[in-house]
Structure 1
Amino acid sequence: MTSQQSADAARDRLTDAIARVGQGERDGLRYVYDHTAAKLMGICLRILGDRNAAEDVLQEVYLKVWRGAEAFDASRASPITWLCTIARNTAIDWQRASQRRAEGVAAASDDAAIADTAADPAEAHAQRVLVNDCLEQIETRQAGAIRAAFFEGFTYSELAARAAVPLGTMKSWVRRGLERLRECLSGG
């Protein structure tokens, strides 16, 4: 057997295993994990630079594989390309969410410091009340997405998954909501 034939056979076995995962077979997932975990861990580790974070993301990757294996189309991508893409995107999403959460904590700390040292604490409170009032005037889905994205640090992908809508829909909700928020805050 040539090395190309061996590679083709390995790809076929992995494709078959992913198809079995799509049918809810745990043995299929075990096979996929056993034959791809090292490679996918390497991708996660390279992106995140932290072994513990990479292990957490790798677990999320295989949950996504379990939930989405029926969508895999071998005519569009090789199984390892599909899996690597899931790992890469999940790691990047996790990294972005972590950065946003860290920035949100820092911003909250900065807001608290500013409020404590502000010449007019009543003005700072009035601004917070105005933002909340404007958010109340926006469509509920849009306001909830804005709050989750900007105050809780969720990524668009996470928000889309939570709301069970396409990513583009979630981005549109946030964009339109921010436009309405700006109008409200500017007195329009």
Structure 2
Amino acid sequence: MSGRTVYIIPEEELVRRVQEKDKLAFEYLYDRYSKAIYGVVFRIVRSEEVASEVLNDAFLRYWERSEKYDSSKGKLYTWMVNIARNLAIDKTRSKEFSQSGKTDSVESFVYAEAALPMEEMKVDGIGVRELLSKLKPDQAEIVDLMYFQGYTQSEIEEKFNIPLGTVKTRLRAGMILLRKLLNVDK
């Protein structure tokens, strides 16, 4: 161990302190979430250099707009991932990125995401949310809660008072249909 004392700050307090522009709280936020968010960004941009740049931009955006976070609309991590994902997608659409030859086609991105285990699959911002309307309402709601709002399967089980097996079945059926709609079937 480094001899450094590690404190666990509850999310509500962390949000409040970051909104008050507490630099130590922001460092804690970075330490707590940067690796996971980097992974999401890297899967989109496929470049360590660009992923690091987008990650820095995302954390700057969190600092500047922390007061816009609303815990009633979702979890902090989900809010942060959505900002980072949007910045990464914007980066891939930029002229500078296109000229660098680092762009992947949407099709190759969908195939890469489909190869991930379902629990690790990230919604990618290429119209998946609109496709939810084509699912059965109970499937769409569970997919939305998991991939857009950051709920866990256990939290969904509690929210709807349904067995965990039912949550998993509806999620799997919804994901299979989404893959078909995205032409990801192999």
- TM-score normalised by structure 1 residue count: 0.46
| Higher normalized helix content (fraction of residues) | 1
- TM-score normalised by structure 2 residue count: 0.46
